[in-house]
A and B are shown apart, each in its own frame.
Chain A
Amino acid sequence: DIQMTQSPSSLSASVGDRVTITCQASQDISNYLNWYQQKPGKAPKLLIYDASNLETGVPSRFSGSGSGTDFTFTISSLQPEDIATYYCQQYDNLPPAFGQGTKLEIK
């Protein structure tokens, strides 16, 4: 099975900061990588699919890049409503696997 490793596990940043989260796959997954946002007590929400495609309705401050084994998720200017846990997920091979999550807090 493919393992997904996110870093950092938690992150504290100020409003307006640029925030970057990385996700590494244990083997080449091409661009079959998604990013989800989960706010406390809520269901996850798809933000980015196929590594770099923004889901409809998602603000443009969110972006993703990468291919192969190394991927990056970026928030260009952190907003208070972005406080959440973010997960990457691969779907190149079954079973689909999530990273362990990155908890983002406001400093």
Chain B
Amino acid sequence: QVQLVESGGGVVQPGGSLRLSCAASGFTFSSYGMHWVRQAPGKGLEWVAFIRYDGSNKYYADSVKGRFTISRDNSKNTLYLQMNSLRAEDTAVYYCAKGSIGYCSSTSCYVFDYWGQGTLVTVSS
């Protein structure tokens, strides 16, 4: 069965950096686009970033563009999110999510059919 397990969350000071990981299993990781979606405490869902199945295309929410970098290692079945210049408003549970369509193109990539359990990032001094 599909499993997505995030790690790397924690407490970091404003301006600091953190790298999240998402270990995938139960499906052909190299065939699917992957996403990061976050949820601030008590708030709704916010899409953060997408990476194409082969890593050739990446898209970001305006709120994180220039500060966050999504990447993947298909040989390790692992998705990453490098977060730099962190702000208090980045405090959230970060979920990795799998796109539902293999080798997707355009907006068909943006249906999230499996999610990890999430990892909490707290930005505070």
Contact = CB atoms under 8 A, between A and B. Distances in A.
Interface of A: 32, 34, 36, 38, 42-46, 49-50, 55, 87, 89, 91-101
A38 B115 CA distance: 11
Interface stretch (B8-16, B23-31, B40-48, B70-78): B40-48
B115 A45 contact: yes
Contacts, number: 57
Say which size band chain B's interface belongs to. Answer: 20 to 34
B116 A43 contact: yes
Interface in B110-125: 110-118
For chain A, what secondary structure do more than half of its interface residues adopt (helix, strand, loop), or is it mixed?
A: loop
Contacts of B108: 91
B44 A32 contact: no
B107 interface: yes
Contacts of B115: 43-45
B81 to A, nearest CB: 16
Given A32-B107, A95-B62, A55 B47 contact: no
- The 6 A-B residue pairs whose C-beta atoms are closest, nearest first, are A91-B110, A43-B115, A96-B110, A98-B45, A96-B47, A91-B107
B100 interface: yes
B44 to A, nearest CB: 5
Nearest to B46: A98
Contacts of B36: none
A55 B37 CA distance: 20
Contacts of B110: 91, 94, 96
